[in-house]
Amino acid sequence: MMISFFERFFEFQKELHQMLFSWVPFSVGDLMYSILGAFLLYDVINLFRKERRNRSLIRIMIIFTVFYCIYQIFWGMLYFQNPIIKKLKSQKEPDMEKAKRLALAYLEKCKVTRQSVQEDRNGIFIVTNLTSIQQEILDQQTKLPSSISGKKATQILDIKPSLFKNVMNFTGILGYYNPFTAEAQYNAELPHTFIPFTTAHESSHQLGFAREQEANFIGYLTGIHSRNAELRYSTEFFTLKSLLRFIVEEDPEFVKNILHQYSPAMKRDRAYEKSFALRHQGWLDDFFGLTNNLFLKSNQQEGSVTYSYFIDLLLNYEKT
């Protein structure tokens, strides 16, 4: 009963915030975080000044308390929603053989769809019209199976590039949802293979799916049946990579064989993803990976190191 109340409240505040902020061409939430960060930094510095220490400490505690309470009301309670896995008719444990069959199927899907998209002069996949992809995501959200999602798609386009893209490059964060402004942010400097699916994932948060792997699954349902080849390829490629990550510990030779079977264009896309990751490795990546893992576990999730829940959902949903 209480969770149902917060679900209804989320729908109200989401629609209100999107009407207020969607027309602004930059991320209002990122600007808000920047201003809040500046105030906090000022108070942290004042902690080292004896005459201002107590006042600054009280102000920091008030800010964190208010911030946390608003976060829980606007978003945190949605982590306690009924899991999607319970809505699927079949709830079997992940089957490795089925995962391998799906990996082979998505390998072929990727090969075919990759031929329908554009690439740059280096032969790397590029997005040609992100706005049309974002609009397609909103349209596809209205077609989600009612047995899985009864949530209301507002049809307000509110997906924006983050102002923190240069920092995000070194953190491993592809995008995020701001529960205080209902904006979905993505890192515009990512390899383009990531961008369409990342926007579908963050828009799934806007729809009201809080758990990370459930947002992946809704993003998958949004993209896999899309008429937009760029969104479909990004989704198929994400799905294939997720399946291979699931399989690799049990059968690395199978995964190695699949990678060899990538089309030349897919191999170029994969090489560019790897070079991007290598160029931006560092302590920030490790730090944010650790903190994100702790955050997910504190919100009733498995943590960032496993994709098994998404694979559970995928294997229970897909018909082979």
Predicted model pTM: 0.89
Domain ranges of the chain: 80-317
Q: How confident is the model over 167-220, as pLDDT tens digits?
A: 888 877 899 999 999 999 999 999 999 999 999 999 999 999 999 999 999 999
DSSP per residue, 31-76 = HHHHHHHHHHHHHHHHTTSTTTHHHHHHHHHHHHHHHHHHHHHHTG
Q: How confident is the model over 101-147, as pLDDT tens digits?
A: 999 999 999 999 999 999 999 999 999 999 999 999 999 999 999 88
pLDDT of 202 reads 96
Q: How confident is the model over 72-87, as pLDDT tens digits?
A: 999 999 999 999 998 8
Among left, alpha and beta (phi > 0; psi -120 to 50; other), residue 98 is alpha
Tell me which residue of 295, 126, 130, 149 sits closest to 220, measured CA to CA: 149
